[in-house]
């Protein structure tokens, strides 16, 4: 009798809408086509190190297509190659990759499907180099993974951010205020760019284009001179002034990505109000962008990525991620993915379109 294929699924990094849709797609296709056994590893790499997993049943997959978060749990801190351990009052880091590899061997996995962002997939590449058959699926609201033009979770985040901007328009208009909307995106401005354009932002600030406070103030004053007594500013959390630095909310020492951004909106708000005398308020969208049900687009994309991942398992195309390029699903080397984050090119058509409509990026007076 042929041995049943065993496929592990792991979800790492920040949660986002659409993860459950990928889990569902991978598991259902593998079960129905290959009669595979699906092993869900709990809480990302934390579960891989500490051997926490369970066998997924078809009934668990029913109804999760529309549900946000992840039924497997996740962790932004755990990294088998640099695992944080408390030693008294001190925090020390140990390489526990050998333990993780032994656990994979004990589970007798034929493949490990890793659903995550650039950090999670970078670790997956290390596991692949250590002999683990890995397939990656790109997940992040930030849309900043190398080798793919789109990630699931991004569209949902843009929808949520845009709705927030839409709602703030009436308040800004009624009270003649400047409203600053701070959105996520880490070191890439994709959410700010898309939601800023969709929400009619007057000024969009992204990490790729360092801003000048004088240029922002000049834009606000120019609008007031034309009778526009309010302004909407959409700022990415990783935006920074020319010659300046990012605003760090806190440091999580035990994390493999310790810097948590946040607060740039409040810094800007104080500066702008002091320089213009116009009441300025800041709203931080924060984790609202990660939660809730995925948009129809993200449900479809997640399903496509998940089923393509199973095709790649069947073809034994390990060490690869499912990507989207020119609207087609493609195979991307995890080596390419691990090279860094995908940022917005300065000649991107959306930047050109926005500038042509008199949207400011804070870099020109």
Query: Hey, which residues are catalytic here?
Result: 142
The dihedral of CA 295, 296, 299, 305: what is its sign?
Answer: negative
Q: CA 54 to CA 249: how far, in whole Å?
A: 36
Q: CA 45 to CA 99: how far, in whole Å?
A: 11
Nearest to 127 by CA among 161, 77, 80, 85: 80
Cβ atoms of 267 and 182 within 8 Å: the answer is: no
| Alpha helices in the chain, H assignment, sequence order | 19-34, 45-49, 97-107, 118-129, 154-175, 190-198, 213-225, 264-276, 296-314, 334-337, 349-356
The Cα diameter of the chain in Å comes to 80
DSSP state of 108: T
Q: Which residue bears the tokens 């948590």? A: 260
Nearest to 130 by CA among 81, 63, 191, 189: 81
Q: Which residue bears the tokens 């042929």? A: 2
In the three-class reduction of DSSP (H, G, I as helix; E, B as strand; rest coil), residue 63 is classed as: coil
Cβ atoms of 137 and 309 within 8 Å: the answer is: yes
Q: CA 318 to CA 128: how far, in whole Å?
A: 8
DSSP state of 226: T
Q: CA 17 to CA 313: how far, in whole Å?
A: 24
Q: CA 201 to CA 220: how far, in whole Å?
A: 12
Q: CA 231 to CA 279: how far, in whole Å?
A: 11
Based on C-alpha coordinates, what's the Rg of the chain? 22
């Amino acid at each position: 009798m042929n041995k049943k294929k065993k496929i592990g699924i792991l979800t790492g990094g920040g949660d986002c809408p659409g993860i459950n849709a990928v889990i569902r797609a991978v598991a259902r296709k593998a079960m129905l086509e290959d009669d595979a056994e699906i092993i869900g590893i709990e809480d990302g790499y934390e579960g891989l190190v500490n051997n926490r997993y369970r066998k997924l049943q078809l009934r668990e997959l029913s109804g999760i297509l529309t549900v946000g978060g992840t039924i497997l749990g996740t962790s932004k801190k755990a990294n088998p190659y640099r695992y944080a351990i408390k030693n008294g009052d001190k925090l020390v880091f140990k390489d526990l990759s050998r333990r993780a590899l032994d656990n994979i061997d004990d589970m007798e996995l034929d493949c490990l499907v890793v659903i995550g962002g650039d950090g999670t997939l970078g670790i997956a590449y290390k596991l692949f180099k250590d002999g683990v058959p890995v397939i990656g699926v790109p997940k992040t609201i930030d849309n900043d993974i190398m080798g793919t033009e789109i990630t699931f979770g991004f569209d949902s985040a843009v929808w949520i951010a845009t709705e927030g901007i839409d709602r703030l328009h009436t308040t800004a208009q009624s009270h003649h205020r400047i409203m600053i909307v701070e959105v996520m995106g880490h070191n890439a401005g994709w959410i700010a760019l898309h939601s800023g354009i969709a929400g009619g932002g007057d000024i969009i600030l992204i990490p790729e284009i360092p801003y000048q406070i004088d240029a922002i103030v000049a834009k606000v004053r120019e609008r007031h001179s034309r009778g526009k007594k309010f302004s909407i500013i959409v700022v990415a959390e990783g935006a920074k002034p020319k010659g300046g630095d990012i605003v760090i909310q806190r440091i999580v020492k035990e994390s493999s990505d310790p810097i948590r951004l946040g607060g740039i909106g409040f810094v800007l708000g104080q500066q702008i109000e002091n320089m213009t005398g116009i009441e300025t308020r800041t709203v931080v969208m924060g984790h609202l962008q990660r939660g809730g049900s995925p948009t129809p687009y993200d449900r479809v994309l997640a399903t496509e990525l998940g089923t393509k991942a199973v095709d790649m398992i069947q073809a034994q195309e390990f060490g690869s991620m499912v990507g989207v390029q020119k609207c087609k699903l493609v195979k991307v080397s995890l080596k390419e993915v691990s090279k860094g984050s995908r940022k917005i090119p300065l000649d991107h058509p959306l930047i050109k379109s926005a500038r042509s409509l008199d949207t400011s990026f804070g870099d020109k007076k």
